[in-house]
């Protein structure tokens, strides 16, 4: 049996999360009101992926990579509240919205979902950056690396998305 390194696995999940958010945001900015199913499917899939990855570390408290399994609960929570600018109640409500989205739409099917809109990912990103910075306390990596990963990916994905939308606009391809 292979035993995975929890810090490495958490880093991989965090990178996947920030890449998914960056790509979704880049596509959304390049094509804010898509009429083609192609763009809608990509955007929705990226959002679903981001939410599922985020919930591994912030949703289910029993997950081996959940922050409560990796860090001192009080110290981490204090830093998380400061980083996100949310109160404990606001954070709990926000986390519940993402977890509900995952449970009803992204990872499972609920035929009577209560989720009516996509949760905003700003606080989720801030939380992911904070988690990564705390991982670096174990002596691995540069605390600013995940933010750079997000910024670099957003820049690259924006250029690619703008080119893809421009290449298909007015051609009839993908509804453009």
Which residue's structure tokens are 């250029």?
159
Q: Cα–Cα distance between 81 and 90 in angstroms, integer?
A: 9
Q: Please tell me the predicted confidence (pLDDT) of residue 168.
A: 78
Q: Please tell me the predicted confidence (pLDDT) of residue 58.
A: 96
Q: Please tell me the predicted confidence (pLDDT) of residue 172.
A: 65
Q: Please tell me the predicted confidence (pLDDT) of residue 112.
A: 75
List the structure tokens of 137: 């306390």
Contact (Cβ atoms closer than 8 angstroms) between residue 83 and residue 130: yes
List the structure tokens of 45: 């899939």
List the structure tokens of 29: 């900015």
Q: Please tell me the predicted confidence (pLDDT) of residue 175.
A: 54
Low-confidence ranges of the chain (pLDDT < 70): 34-35, 110, 116, 171-176
């Amino acid at each position: 049996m292979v035993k995975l390194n929890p810090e490495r696995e958490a880093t991989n999940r965090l990178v996947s999360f920030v890449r998914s958010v960056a790509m979704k945001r880049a596509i959304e900015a390049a094509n804010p009101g898509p009429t083609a199913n192609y763009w809608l499917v990509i955007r929705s899939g990226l959002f679903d992926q981001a939410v599922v990855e985020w919930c591994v570390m912030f949703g289910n408290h029993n997950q081996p990579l959940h922050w409560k399994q990796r860090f001192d609960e009080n110290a981490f929570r204090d830093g998380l509240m400061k980083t996100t600018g949310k109160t404990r109640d606001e954070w709990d409500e926000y986390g519940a919205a993402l977890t509900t989205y995952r449970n009803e739409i992204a990872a499972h099917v609920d035929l009577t979902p209560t989720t009516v809109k996509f949760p905003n990912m700003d606080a989720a990103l801030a939380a992911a950056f904070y988690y990564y910075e705390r991982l670096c306390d174990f002596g691995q990596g540069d605390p600013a690396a995940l933010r750079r990963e997000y910024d670099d990916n957003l820049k690259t994905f924006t250029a690619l998305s703008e080119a893809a939308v421009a290449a298909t606009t007015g051609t009839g391809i993908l509804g453009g």
